[in-house]
Structure 1
Amino acid sequence: MPREIALREVKDLVGKEIGVSDWITVDQTMIDQFADATHDHQFIHTDPEKAAAESPFGGTIAHGFLTLSLLSAMNYNSLPHIREQTMGLNYGFDKIRFGSPVRSGKRIRGRFTLTEARLRGAGMLMTTYDVTVDIENERKPALAATWTTIVQFDPKDRPDDWSS
């Protein structure tokens, strides 16, 4: 996938996997920092010894919301930039499922399939992705979601051949 595409090219990508991110290592430091930021210090996230002894995971695991929050970095890392874009906005999720825990020290990556792209208003493109977060060397994904974002652009750049 090219690193930059024109707005008019987006509609031709619907139905295609258009990005696979680089691997991100989710280590204990990252998990601890997320716990501090969210005030979620449950032992399965922050106490390696207790998590190894008392949880079914064999050690600490990342918060599901940490995995979810990394989608922004994965998106930026893997999806082509739209040349006319002036700003991108997170519109929300229609579905999120946490399929498998991410153990501390594991690497994850995101896969993005564009399922919908439609113009809204004079200068907005709404895009919807099916997103999967893979865990390296594991069969089940950490996360599956349907994510909608908005690409803001100057209305003068709206493609003439793309009906809303």
Structure 2
Amino acid sequence: MSRGNAAGQPLIELRFSPDTINFGDLPEEIDALLQQGVVAYRKDRAAAEALFRKALDAAPQALPVYFCLYKIHTYQGNLDEALSAARRGLEEAARQAGWRSDWRAWTPGPLAADGAARFALYTLKALAFIHLRREEPDAAAEMLRALRVLDPSGAVGWPVVAELAEGLR
């Protein structure tokens, strides 16, 4: 699973060197593919995406793979691809958390420091950001309203996206 903390720090954190990312508890071969993708991203984004997709094919239950995919596509401005990867990651995280696939049906509960539930809320925040980038403020606002209820302390960092949304008005 992905890692994060109650202070709202990222689910993925640096470990030892900038080229090694702590993706949490993953099978060794999946972690290796993600690590290779992170290194490849600096020089060959297509190779990085291919490595992340290979990891997804091998382990569609591995939530950090979705994170990698929606992050690289967001960074590159491939917002349709980012949206697709984030939606799929959200669906998988909800399944793993035992939640309904429609985030609108989620109810507030305790938020663990890591795990599928936290990843689901973090990815909902990412989706709000992607919608802002796609100039879809109403979709972003709906997600941010849900996050205010589901994560009132802002542990997954949604207040930053809410501030961006406010600045765009």
**Do both share a fold (TM > 0.5)?**
no
User: Greater relative contact order (Cα 8 A, min sep 6): structure 1 or 2?
Assistant: 1
**More strand as a share of residues:** 1
TM-score normalized with structure 2 length: 0.22
**More helix as a share of residues:** 2
